[in-house]
Structure 1
Amino acid sequence: MNFATDLASVSHGIQLAIAPVFLLTAVAGMMGAVAGRLARIIDRARFLQDRLDAGVLDKPGKEKIYDELYRLRHRGWLVNGCLGFLTFCAILIGLTIILLFLGETSALPIFRIATVCFLAGVVCFLLALVCFLIETVLSMHKLKFEQWPAR
């Protein structure tokens, strides 16, 4: 393996590797937002489970809680899927950064691999956005806006 040691190659390699870092920053920000949604889902499910465990609910009250717990479970699956796609995206973008830098500073012909890693990372990011969109729609489904007073 012949590594280039001239300053121009190293600086160009850094320039190439910097662009995907912006996507990595977006992924990290989205992971924080999605993890916050997961925490709220878990908190709500624990609250509902505590109400069930207290044993003071009538049958219709229990059915409502079981229905909401069912919806929370589906939302939790979507959020977990979203976090999985985001994590895989971050791994692929990190590999892209490494491959771009190595491709520029060495004689390794790895730019095609870097391209595939980057595109796969973008696909994972888009799939995470789809999961996030579906989860957001499901979270709004429970709200009944027609019952709110008009202004």
Structure 2
Amino acid sequence: MALPTDTESITHGIQLAIAPVFLLTAVSGMTGVVATRLARIIDRARRVEDIAREARDDETVKRAYAELAELRFRGRLSNAAIALLTTCAILIGLTIILIFLGEAVEFRTNVSAVVSFLIGVVSFLLALLCFLWETIVATRLLNFHMLR
């Protein structure tokens, strides 16, 4: 596994490895958005718990527990999205390393790089679906509160 001395193959390796970095930028942005939503879910859950503790009537407690169940579900969806985004970032990072090694060191990593990239993209898409589902649940919860 000798290092090639021609700068052309090293430059080509760097060019190939940079392309997946753009996906990492998207993953970073999505992680920030989902983490912010998770923080808001936690803040709301704490507020609803306080309302339930201070409530004097059973109806308020019942509504608080129903909202807490929805918030717990939304929190799980957000956590799943963050886990999938983290998995995606790790796999894309691995893809970058494999592509660069494949070009710079003439190490056969083509299949591994393709597999890690594809699984990373699938993880990103699943995270987007979790995010969409969480926003739908949040909107449904909002509509529910508007009726009362």
Deviation of 1:35 after TM superposition, in Å, equals 0.2
Q: How does 1:59-98 map to 2 (within 5 A)?
A: 59-98=58-97
Look up the SS of the partner of 2:3 in the other structure.
Answer: coil
AA in 2 matched with 1:118: F
> Which stretches in structure 1 are left out of the alignment for 5+ residues?
none
Conserved in 1, the CA contact under 8 Å of 2:70 and 2:141?
no
Residue 47 (structure 1) aligned with residue 34 (structure 2): no
Q: Which residue of 1 aligns with 2:112?
A: 113
Across the aligned residues of Structure 1 and Structure 2, the Cα RMSD in angstroms comes to 1.4
Q: Would you say how many aligned residue pairs link Structure 1 and Structure 2?
A: 146
Residue 32 (structure 1) aligned with residue 32 (structure 2): yes
Deviation of 1:106 after TM superposition, in Å, equals 1.2
Conserved in 2, the CA contact under 8 Å of 1:89 and 1:122?
yes
Counterpart CA distance in 2 for 1:14 and 1:140 is 44
Conserved in 2, the CA contact under 8 Å of 1:5 and 1:105?
no
Identity of aligned residues (%): 56
Counterpart CA distance in 2 for 1:90 and 1:143 is 32
Which ranges of 4 or more aligned residues in structure 1 deviate by more than 2 Å?
A: none
- TM-score, normalised to structure 1, is 0.92
Deviation of 1:2 after TM superposition, in Å, equals 1.4
Conserved in 2, the CA contact under 8 Å of 1:85 and 1:124?
yes
Counterpart CA distance in 1 for 2:29 and 2:137 is 22
Deviation of 1:51 after TM superposition, in Å, equals 1.8
Counterpart CA distance in 1 for 2:119 and 2:18 is 18
Counterpart CA distance in 1 for 2:102 and 2:60 is 62
- TM-score, normalised to structure 2, is 0.94
The Cα offsets for residues 82-137 of structure 1, whole Å up to 9 and x where unpaired, read as 00000000000000000000000112110110000000000000100110111010
Counterpart CA distance in 2 for 1:144 and 1:10 is 56
